[in-house]
Chain A
Amino acid sequence: MSKMHVTTTINGEPTEFLCDPDRSLLDVLRNTLGLTGTKEGCGTGDCGACSVTVDGRLVCACLMLAVEAGGCEIGTIEGMAQGGELHPLQQKFLEMAALQCGICTPGVLVAAKALLEKNPDPTETEVRFGLAGNLCRCTGYDKIVRAVLDTAAEMREAVQ
């Protein structure tokens, strides 16, 4: 199979890789580029563990071919903390213990960040709908939802 050359931007860094045309973005992120923060859960777009952003829009990296990333801006969990400083969502998830085993956590954080960028003042219902594509088998979601709502409130205060 002839490999394709892909030029993309990941977390602001220009990145190039070679890949077979049928490999998913998730596969290349993890196994070619070593960005293993993005997790594989179902591989069929149901669980959200592989959530990343592509040109600012939330997507499942398992439902996208790596070759489609050419010319796009990809955002992964590795780009969430800035200069060694955790994103407020990451800090709040730690403080409120909004995780147990942690496999869904990167995807939840990426999805929650995308949600708050669109809607800085979501209701609990909006958070639950916004994160409906992220399955967590440990927490029962309550701590996750509360952590997102608390972070949103703090981020709104910080802006004022």
Chain B
Amino acid sequence: MKPFATLLDRLVLTPSRNGKLTLLTDYFRSTPDPDRGYGLAALAGALDLKAIKPALLKELALEKLDPVLFQYSYDYVGDLAETISLIWDGGEKEHVSEGEQPRLGEVVARMNALGRTEVRSAVRDLLDHLDHSSRFAFLKLATGSLRIGVSARLAKQALAEMSGPDGMKKDVTEIETLWHGLEPPYEPLFAWLEGKAEKPVLATPAIFHSVMLANPVEEGDLDKLNPEDYAAEWKWDGIRVQMSSFGGTKKLYSRSGDDISGAFPDVIDAINFEGVIDGELLVGGTARSNSATRTFSDLQQRLNRKTVSAKMIADYPAFVRAYDLLFDRDEDIRARSYLRRREELSEVIEKAPHDRFDISPLIDFQSWLQLDQLRLAPPDPVVEGVMIKRKDSVYQAGRLKGPWFKWKRDPFNVDAVMMYAQRGHGKRSSYYSDFTFGVWAEGEGGEQLVPVGKAYFGFTDAELEVLDKFVRDNTVERFGPVRSVRAEPGFGFVLEVAFEGINRSTRHKSGVAMRFPRISRLRMDKLPRDADRLSTLTAMVEGREQDIGA
């Protein structure tokens, strides 16, 4: 348990991706089976561990400690698992050496073998035998809330890293492809990564296959290409998904391979084909049922849920707009050309329920200029650009330059005023690099700035120096790591903010929320009084809603 606990302690406080990767890689290299496999499962959200109710934990804590002292402690720490891990006094049993503490594999096996009546004493006994950081890790696992900022994708990246020195590493896409066919503690996977065994063989194709990604169109890219070699389709503003169905197993995966089937029973139940389809998950109606596709903010109502209510399904019906076919039944057709695969795909979609599946149509175009015009004035507001795909391209996992491009609609822009700044992390810990910005609105005391968003990238290192200096020289108030800066009509810092979309929000005081805001330019030529007004932003929201007819 101790190596896993130490890993968690470090991960929680390590903001940089590379730092996390090093910690994970070292853990997988230095921890024996099966413990590292259970650790991996815990990080990737795939660990099945008997759950303990917080109420039971609190009862156990109160066996040891006066309720008033417990309450003082809980109020101070603010997290139940952490409070209990800290106040627990295991006496002599706690002071055993690292090697004598129960191992993660033992803890998992023991917890999962318990009968209902044995839980209380087993948990008490485990807490006694672990030190405070292992207790914390155990309690977090058993209450099912790790929250350490590590995605399943990052854990898999670390597996690729551990598999060898540069040049000899396994590809992360290979690991992702295997992932859903394997179970904790993943011993065959580790054996293969360490070169001690052959690659594990999977029993079914109803698993996640790494997706093919596109590169953004950059200046001059298209000049070299012949439009006749390419097909184009709309880039829909939903989330990229993969549907796998084989032998009665039906799954919906996000583009990073997370299984999201549980949240979309409406889509899963409608699958009447076998194979693997690449597409966009959206809400609203399909083109085949002649009803409108709804916005990303409507789709968000359905995301990040484990289960979903009947009302939610009725109010926000989900469907898949298909892009590609990877497997036709159990036949791998990824090596066929894009146009061939599209033909097979349309046959499959033709026979699928028309209210849950449609196909992303091809765009008719003759020249890049014509496509550009279509891109800037798309026929549907839920389009965020166009995709350009070579007609003869095979389906290859990863982001290869050449076969597929994405050409996004231009971002929105506003001029906003810097209001607050917060220190960054890691490399940026001595810089004020996270900025909250606002625009003007009519308030009780006349015109005032209302915060509308926060951005911490988009600027260069040299620009960061300028921003940081402004913050240090013009601080008005400090609240912990946050400073408020001078922002008056005649004095302040104007930032040009670019963002991908804008929605209504009840969670923000301003009533609007931006998607992917970033600082695109420092407008030192402007005064805060020249910045935009909130009405400009609400008009952008209304403009979108009008397009959609909401």
A and B associate in one complex: no
